[in-house]
Amino acid sequence: MRQLALLGEETQRIWTHRQADVPQFVKPYVKTNKHDMADAEAICEAVSRPNMRFVPIKNVEQQAILSVHRARQGMVKARTAQANQIRGLLSEFGIVMPQGIRSIGKRIPVILEDAENGLPDILRKLLDRLNDHLKELDRQVEGPSGGRTGVADQAVAPGERSQSETGSDGYW
């Protein structure tokens, strides 16, 4: 849409719901089963209605910031999965750990040094590697400042972010 706007074309985007195949405000205008021509006809019908809601088209910088947010969400998900994997492996050997990334980071070194817990050497080496990976994921998510803007700090130069993008609105 941004490319069309650069060519002088006027574009509008109908508000959509992420999980819907057809935008939720267009769906009532679809007369037949789902196919491109029926969807296009429904979109034309919906656009002509006076109560149709449109969303502004994002500029390149806004889209880049959203990409940073999505990448960070993926890293948080990977970090949580890594922590759960470590917790699960330890529970198979009778070592139960509380939930939370911080508790794993504090307790893994103690568990690895404890010769009395009966963990095989191969598992100790694996846990050490998994813990290193968890620390790396945590570093990427949290960033050098210890705040919640690690990915954003790397993607956007200082001074280029607005107050809402820096996290003061509670998003990051």
Among 20, 35, 55, which residue terminates a domain? 55
Query: Is 168 within a domain?
Result: no
Higher per-residue pLDDT: 12 or 78: 78
Distance CA 88, CA 97 (A): 9
Q: Same domain, yes or no, for 71 and 147?
A: yes
* Summary mean pLDDT of the chain: 76
Is the Cα torsion angle 13, 18, 23, 25 positive or negative in sign?
negative
Q: Same domain, yes or no, for 99 and 149?
A: yes
Provide the residue range defining the domain that includes 93. 60-155
Q: What is the mean pLDDT of residues 76-87?
A: 96
CB 156 within 8 A of CB 65: yes
Q: Same domain, yes or no, for 50 and 101?
A: no
Nearest to 97 by CA among 126, 136, 127, 122: 127
- How many independent structural domains does the chain possess? 2
Q: List, as one string, the DSSP characters of the chain.
A: -HHHHHTT----EE---TT-SS-TTTGGG--SSS-HHHHHHHHHHHHTSTT--EEPPP-HHHHHHHHHHHHHHHHHHHHHHHHHHHHHHHHHTT----SSHHHHHHHHHHHHH-GGG---HHHHHHHHHHHHHHHHHHHHHH-TTSSS-HHHHHHS-TT-S-TTTTTTTS--
Res 84: pLDDT? 95
Q: Same domain, yes or no, for 24 and 89?
A: no
Structure tokens at 111: 């568990």
Distance CA 19, CA 32 (A): 20
Model pLDDT for residues 6-59, shown as the tens digit of each residue: 777 666 666 554 434 445 666 666 666 767 777 777 777 777 777 777 778 888
CB 151 within 8 A of CB 71: yes
Q: What is the mean pLDDT of residues 53-80?
A: 90
Q: What is the mean pLDDT of residues 111-128?
A: 93
pTM of the model: 0.60
Q: Same domain, yes or no, for 16 and 65?
A: no
Distance CA 91, CA 138 (A): 22
Among 55, 82, 99, which residue terminates a domain? 55
Res 27: pLDDT? 61
Task: Work out the pLDDT band at 109, boundaries 50, 70, 90.
Answer: very high
Q: Which residues contact 131 (CB under 8 A, 6 or more apart)?
A: 86, 104, 105, 108, 109, 112
Please say if the pLDDT value at position 144 is more than 80. no
